[in-house]
Every structure is written in structure tokens, then in C-alpha cells.
Amino acid sequence: MVSAATVEQAVLIACADGVRLGGHVWPARGVPRGAVVVNAATGVLARYYHRYARFLAAHGFEVLTYDYRGIGASRPARLRGCGYRWHQWGTLDCDAALRFMRQHRPGLPLHLVGHSIGGFLPGFAASAGAIGRILTVGAQYAYWRDYRAAERAGLFLKWHLAMPLMTALCGYFPGRRLGWLEDLPAGVAHEWSFRRARMELSLPPQQRQPVLARFAAVKAPVLAVIVADDPLGTAPAIRRGLGYYRNAPRQEVVIAPADLGVAGIGHFGLFHARFEGSFWVDSLAWLAEGTNPWAGHRADSAA
């Protein structure tokens, strides 16, 4: 288990447009092995990943966790009318986080762990060329046809009908009040709800080619984890997102609940502390050495 001796430091991260994000740096214990930026899922507070960040720090990594604009420590005084958009979490927020960590610990190998949308956002960031390795968990951009068939209708009703309706009524998505993750800016909720099969079609036409070029410029190896019982991050969903990283070496693996001795994992489970002695430990091999610890769990036959 990780000692409580690892203490985080609150930081502010300046984005190119002047927005400041709230985050925490977790100092590496001993001689640093590298730096890691942790990108959260949509509507999930950065503090959900604090235990994992503390674990990485205890094993020699300098770690940054942060909240995207409109969320948690980066929420403005008034969410209604703030104008924040989902793609800005990549073009501005993830980019700022990478620049911050590169300046904070220059010379250290810089890696990224991305959960859900957090694993897709690096491709938007102009600074993504600084990343050494990327580990993603359930990384996708919520195109509804990729949801697992058994849950597809319910997820569509929830996220693609109810969410935009509630957003239109309230001027932002009141997720916390509904018990559906955190509140979201209207622009973020609408980009999620009305996303098409090709991500760039949700962007203004003049932004599409520059964004695609940024994805193509990413050369960092990507290890994409597919959780077998994840209704959102299915194999087709993960592959749809990975396709944008066309010049990066990509590996896919499938982890089933039985592999970790549990009945279920789902979309959020792997960052829960009960997997500290299994998934968390295994993830160190990729971050420290670039070794795929799940090489025997190839995703070739995942559906």
C-alpha cells in the first residue's frame, strides 16, 4: 500500500486564452523516473484520480492532476453562459497541462494517462509532441452507435436526449443535481450530445484540418486499455478514437473482470483503489519502461 507521506501541492495552470485551471502536483518519492499528466473523464473531478496519482508518485513519478475548465477547481463563478466548449479541454487545457509539467520538471520523460475522453484529448494539444508514452483507459468520444448493444438505447436516451434537453432548460447541464456525474458547461454537453461518427464534424469547418493535423503529428506510442464490461468504451469506440492517431504506434489490450478477480469493472472502475495491487502496479511497466504488461490480452477478437 502507498504511504500517506506523499503530499500534493495545489497549483494554478495558465491556458493560452487566460483561463486558469486548478490542479495538484504530486512530488515523486526518491529519484524521479518521469513526469505524468493525468487526464480525467468527462464530468469527473480530478480528485477521483488522486489516489492513483499518489501511487505513481510513491513509485517515482512527478504527477499532475487537474480539472478541465468548467469542472471542480476550474469551475467559474457562473457556469451558465461561460462559453466553454468540449474541444477546448484539448486545444487549451490539456495543452496547458503538458506545457506546465514540461516547465515544472524539464528534462524528465513526460507521459500521459488518459481516462475516457482524457485519452482522446492529447491529439488536440499543440504540445503533444513532448509526450513520451500514452496510456489510455476506455478512451473514446461517445459516439452513440459504439455503445454496447445491450445498453445503447438507455445511454442514448440519457446522454443524447435528456442531457441536451436539461442543458437547454438550465443553461448548463445540472449533472450533480441529477446524480449524473458533475455539472457541465452547455457547450461541453452539446458537443457530447450531438457528436457525429467523425469527431471533426462537430467543429467549425475552419478548425477541422488543423485539428486532424495535430492528431497526425502525435508520435508517442499509445497503449489503449479496453475494459471488457465497459458499455461506453467498447472496442469499436476505442478503435474509432485511435484511428486519429495514425502516425503513433498503437497497441490495444482487453482486460476482463475475471482477469482481476472481480465481478465487474465498468467504465470507471480501474482507477478505484481496489486495483492498486493489480492494474495500478501493472501500469508502471508501461510508464517506466514502455513494456506492455498485458501483452497476453490482445484485443484482436474484442467486440
> Which stretches within the chain are classed as H helix?
50-58, 88, 95-104, 149-156, 163-170, 175-178, 186-193, 205-217, 235-242, 281-289
Which residues is 10 bridged to in the sheet? 24
Query: Which distant-in-sequence residues (6+ apart) come within 8 Å of 93 by Cβ?
Result: 15, 19, 21, 66, 68, 69, 74, 121
pLDDT at 299: 72
What is the predicted pLDDT for the residue at 300? 63
pLDDT digits (tens, 9 = 90+) for 11-51: 999 999 999 999 999 999 999 999 999 999 999 999 999 99
Q: Which of 252-261, 263-272, 292-301 is least confident?
A: 292-301
Residue 179: CA count within 13 A, CB half-sphere: 0
pLDDT digits (tens, 9 = 90+) for 50-109: 999 999 999 999 999 999 999 999 999 999 999 999 999 999 999 999 999 999 999 999
| Phi/psi at 8 (5° precision) | -80, 160
Residue 171 — left, alpha, or beta (φ > 0 → left; ψ -120 to 50 → alpha)? left
Q: pTM (2 decimals)?
A: 0.95
Residue 3 has pLDDT above 50, yes or no: no
Residue scoring higher pLDDT (16 or 3):
16
